Structure 1
Amino acid sequence: MVTTLARPDEMFDREVEWRALSAFATDTRPGATLGVVSGRRRQGKSFLLRALCQATGGFYFAADEATDGESLRHIGEAIGAYLGSPAPLSFDGWHAVVDALLALGGDQPVPVVIDEFPYLAKANPRLPSIVQNALAPLRPEREDSRARLLLCGSAMSFMGRLLSGDAPLRGRAGLELVVPTLDHRLAAEFWGVSDPATALKVNAIVGGTPAYRREFARDDTPADAADFDSWVTRTVLSPTSPLFREARYLLADESELHDAGLYHSVLAAIAAGNAGRGGIASYLGRKSGDLAHPLTVLEDCGLITREPDVFRDNRTHFRIAEPLITFYHAVMRPIWSDLEHTRDAGRLWQRSQQRFVGNVMGPHFEHICRHWTRHMAPDKLFGGAYAHHVGSGTVNDPARRTSHEVDAVVFGLDDDNRRPILAIGEAKWGERMGRGHVERLRRIRELLAAQGRHGAATARLVCYGGAGFSPELIAEAAADSEIALVGLDTLYTTAA
């Protein structure tokens, strides 16, 4: 039997995560169980777990970066305080600690949380194996316990390996919860920004990380569209604001990134528009083969994502997953010294507008359009079909000796497990879209149909316009059902 606990009034969204944690923590079946909670820093994981323990009377311990001996002493003090012992408990090793944690769960289920678990495992790499042995089947300490042990961490590379491959805890967890960033709609609601253009610009800088509003910006949000530039200069570009250096700290938080200079250069290359491996290598002055390891490490840390070209199996694009890092490398890093010493950040910000629009807003808008199409667009946009996959790709045009980049390619899934092309789309942030954009999409559709791509001949043409559409295009779309126009208002509402 499980119970859905009342969600705290001060908790924004996180309904799915709260239900999952509630079900796990209140499961009355006998036997201790393990759950793993991960996600990038500042997403509210600790808040979720603290609230869970407060609602259930559970045990919460936040680890520090410390030696193994100091951590044993701290957790002994925490367990003693939880049990109301007159003196701290003393443990000579983690086997005894884990058994003491399991003993906290008696007749009733109780969550037992170890936050920042990677800190403990860094000091004692045997800790995952110790937890594995403690949760071994038929072991009395496990069978007689209803402890719901939750291990939490923000080091994505470490947490990603915790349950994978031949890791000790693989197959032991009954819950694996990744706490994501807020999507663009929820982020707009959370920041209290009602104007879609302003909301998207804010999202392109700080993404959907909750802490950036509450703790970092101290609830300073753009009052309206006219206040956006001022908001940027008084928060993100102000040396006195925590947001100013946050992008640098995000990399420093990842223990896997040993050569910080190399990884910053790779991210700078991507932020400058070099999405392919060859472009990144050229930017760094290295060979493509030299990038395999740093790209893999950045991907494992959740700092970049690998997005295959939907039309070319051997081509991959890389995208920075954290908007603030893109903003830092595209806008702040090139003028870092000036930002640290100037008293007029507004002047520097105005000089950076071209990089902001081209290197930050353009790619971010394309990503948001693909995300909306995949997860939020109504099926009627594609004739009632379901958008099974959305990606980007490159189409060769031999007759014109060129190639065409397609910002959004929408695939369905038919009864024969084939993936028909439902739509192709182009996204423009700072340019009003006109009939020329539709003609380009028609040409791409012809090329795909000539290649024999399933469904291409009837694919819908979608224009995603951040700056709106020309009257001629609006009129043509009204008369031609094969054309769909998606503006900012649509991206922030439920209907297309």
Structure 2
Amino acid sequence: MFVGRAEELQFLQDRFTARGGQLVILYGRRRVGKTETLRKFCQGKSHVFYACTESPDEQQLTAFSERMLQKGLPAAQYIKRFSDWTQALGSVAELPGEEKKLLVIDEFPYMVKGNGAIPSILQNLWDEKLKNENVLIILCGSAMSFIEKEILAEKNPLYGRATGILKMKAMDFYDAIQFVPHYSSLDKITTYAVLGGIPHYLKQFDDSLSLGENIRLNILSRGSILYSEVEFLMRQELRETATYNAIIEAVAMGNTRMNDIHQKTQIEKTKLSVYLKNLIDLGVLTREFPVADGVKAQANIQRGVYQVTDSFFRFWYAFVFPNLSELEAGDAEGVWRYVVKPELDRYTSYVFEDICRQYLRRKNRKNALPFRFTKIGRWWNKTDELDIMATDQNKQRFLLGECKYKNSAFNLSELRQMQAKFMPKDKNNRIDYWLFSKSGFTDEVIRAAVEQGIQTVTADQLIE
């Protein structure tokens, strides 16, 4: 079952129908669904799909040659293997057919690691010939730091040649929950809180089983795919994994400011800032600022808070990593019952805020809000915090939101507390209030919402 990725597929289709040669670089973290998306795009099109392997250069050239020559190239009458990469890569222009010649090279970094001259060879071919041919070449890779530093960086041969660069990200909430269609609204929300929007992870859950059974069987049990997934990814991308583990665990457990992370890990601040930057570059962490902050405030290294971007990383470091000894001893049931289950609602509440922001982004794109916002996120100062703040470009209109993920209804006291947290400097500025609640709203809040034009959204409405 292929789910979502409509924007990515449309992007690739636009490149396919564009005039002239097209060179696209598509990359993103492992398991995000790049290969499946490319295979979906290639359906119904004459194409060559070559998946690179970690193998010596001569072996790679032989395998690539065989793949190309199988497609009816004129050279196939005379040779069984191209003599070099210039001939092999250049042969894409000779593929038969009238439509655009489509070549996908999956895990391109493996090819480059076997022969560092390949980017230069491709650059020369592109400049001299291929950019004027009816071809679409897609270079795909999972090693994000390699792609960004060795392929896209300014001093490298292919810099400036790409006609499209797409960094694939995790699916949003609305695409992700299509993997568990039989779950209730609350179980869909919790599934997303645990697994995020990575298709490979979502495929591990069976919605004919309870959420607890899926977590116990597919995450907490030794031998399951997700049990060791984070450790595998960390070793693939980083050295000093013990140091990075300590940092991510600290952030996942709620130490979100630079000084808090320093106190928890005892890593020197100058080194810590480098480690944090590396994790941000990899998409594991993000640095968040209050929506109302300007560029100058964001330049201050002491401002902002760090969050674990990937939901599954956050879950793993919050519940799996601290309990590895018990899990290695086979006590998945005990860790689920006494560690994970009692904390799951509190853990989900943080992701619930992000889901509510995604809901508003969708409405914003459809022009279904009182104004078109250009920025959305959280807001806080020294004493107060708002789960959602969105504002227009001139900061004259504000949308403020509060998200309650608890087993009691949103009450009037909570509404009044929210409304007292933020007052714009200009009295002419307008504020629209949105309330989101797992367990609905009291009658008083519903009456106040009608009187004051406040929007209320339940968990079921969030998904509908």
TM-score by length of 1: 0.83
2:451 alignment partner in structure 1: 479
1:120 corresponds to which residue? Answer: 111
Per-residue Cα deviation, 1:145-189 (whole angstroms, up to 9, x for no partner): 322111011222233443354443232122223333221122212
Distance 1:166 1:371, change over 3 A: farther
Distance 2:228 2:177 in 1: 23
Query: Are residue 376 (structure 1) and residue 348 (structure 2) matched?
Result: no
* Letter in structure 2 aligned against 1:385: F
1:89 equivalenced with 2:110 (yes/no)? no
1:308 counterpart residue number:
289
Aligned to 2:399: 423
Pair 174,379 (structure 1): closer, same or farther in 2 beyond 3 Å = closer
Residue 318 to residue 127, structure 1, CA distance change in 2 (3 Å): farther
Selected match of 1:345 from 302, 309, 332:
332
1:60 aligned counterpart, secondary structure: strand
Aligned residues: 451
SS at structure 1 position matched to 2:70: helix
Q: Give the drift of 1:18.
A: 2.3
The partner residue of 2:141 within 135, 150, 153 is 153
Name the structure 1 match of 2:169.
180
1:479 & 1:380 partners in 2: Cα distance? 24
Identity value in percent = 26
Q: Does 1:25 align with 2:13?
A: no
Residue aligned with 1:306, SS? strand
Name the CA distance, whole Å, in 2 between partners of 1:371 and 1:267. Answer: 24
How many Å apart are 1:58 and its aligned residue? Answer: 0.7
Choose the corresponding residue for 1:109, options 100, 104, 128. Answer: 100
Distance 2:70 2:231 in 1: 37
- Say whether the 8 Å CA contact 1:103–1:141 is kept in structure 2: no
Q: Could you tell me which amino acid in structure 2 is paired with residue 239 of structure 1?
A: R
Partners in 2 of 1:394 and 1:167 — Cα distance? 42
Structure 1: state its 5+ residue gaps: 1-9, 397-402
- Tell me, yes or no, if the aligned pair for 2:48 and 2:71 is still in contact at 8 Å: yes
Q: Map of 1:185-224 to 2, 5 A cutoff?
A: 185-214=174-203, 216-217=204-205, 220-223=206-209
Q: Deviations over 1:47-67 (max 9, x none)?
A: 232344442221111011223
* Cα distance in 2 for residues equivalent to 1:140 and 1:42: 34
- Measured against aligned partners, the alpha-carbon deviations of 1:360-419 in whole angstroms (never above 9, x if no partner) come to 31221122222222333688875x2112211112224xxxxxx11221111023xxxx12
Quick check: 2:364–2:372 contact (8 Å CA) kept in 1?
no
Matched, 1:229 2:245: no
Query: Which residue number in structure 1 is paired with residue 417 of structure 2?
Result: 440
User: What residue identity is the alignment partner of 1:440?
Assistant: Q
Secondary structure (helix, strand or coil) at the match of 2:71 reads helix
AA partner of residue 223 (structure 2): T
SS in 1 for 2:9: helix
* Alpha-carbon spacing, 1:152–1:238, altered in 2? closer, same or farther (3 Å): same
Label 1:196 to 1:375 Cα distance change in 2 as closer, same or farther (>3 A).
same
- Decide whether the 8 Å contact of 2:257 with 2:306 is kept in 1: yes
Task: Please state how far the C-alpha of 1:111 moved relative to its aligned partner.
Answer: 0.6
> How far has the Cα of 1:454 moved from its partner?
7.5
On the 8 A contact 1:134/1:141 being kept in 2, the answer is yes
CA distance in 1, matches of 2:368, 2:167: 30
2:78 is aligned with 1:98 = no
Query: What secondary structure sits across from 1:261 in the alignment?
Result: helix
Residues 108 and 380 (structure 1), Cα distance of their counterparts in 2 relative to 1, 3 Å cut = closer
Is it true that 1:63 corresponds to 2:52 in the alignment?
yes
Specify the SS of the correspondent of 1:177.
Answer: strand
Deviation at 1:355? 4.0
Structure 2 counterpart of 1:243: 226
- Choose between structure 1 and 2 for higher RCO, CA contacts under 8 A separated by at least 6 residues: 2
Q: TM-score, normalised by structure 2?
A: 0.88
- The C-alpha deviation readout for 1:308-336, integer Å capped at 9, x for no partner, is 22245232222222211111000111111
CA change 1:376–1:235 in 2 (3 A) is: farther
| Map of 1:130 onto structure 2 | 121
On the 8 A contact 1:56/1:110 being kept in 2, the answer is no
Offset at 1:25? 2.8
Which of 279, 289, 302 is the matching residue for 1:298? 279
Q: Which amino acid aligns with 1:269?
A: A
2:304 match: secondary structure: strand
Aligned AA (2:445): L
Unaligned runs of 5+ in 2: none
Query: Are residue 391 (structure 1) and residue 368 (structure 2) matched?
Result: no
Alpha-carbon distance in structure 1 between the residues aligned to 2:387 and 2:415: 13
Counterparts of 2:321 and 2:119, CA distance in 1: 39
Structure 1 CA distance, aligned partners of 2:367 and 2:446?
19
Q: Contact 1:381–1:484 (CA<8 Å) still a contact in 2?
A: no
Measure, in 1, the Cα distance between the counterparts of 2:58 and 2:439. 59
**CA distance in structure 2 between the aligned counterparts of 1:123 and 1:73, rounded to whole angstroms:** 13
Give the 3-state SS of the residue equivalent to 1:82 in structure 2. coil
Asked whether the equivalents of residues 204 and 364 of structure 1 are also in contact (C-alpha less than 8 Å), the reply is yes
Q: Is the 8 A contact 1:379 1:386 kept in 2?
A: no
1:437-484 deviation digits (Å, cap 9, x = unpaired): 222222212xx33xx26765x323333222333333233223322x33
Measure the CA separation in 1 of the matches of 2:155 and 2:316: 37
Taking a change above 3 Å as real, the CA distance of residues 453 and 336 of structure 1, as seen in their structure-2 partners, is farther
CA distance in 2, matches of 1:193, 1:455: 47
1:160 to 1:431, Cα distance in 2 relative to 1, 3 A = farther
Mapped contact 1:404–1:444 kept (Cα < 8 A): yes
Assess if the C-alpha contact under 8 Å between 1:59 and 1:112 holds in 2. Answer: yes
For 2:397 and 2:145, how far apart are their aligned partners in 1? 35
Distance in 2 between the 1:222 and 1:412 partners? 44
SS in 2 for 1:459: strand
Q: Aligned equivalents of 1:370 and 1:158: distance in 2? A: 32
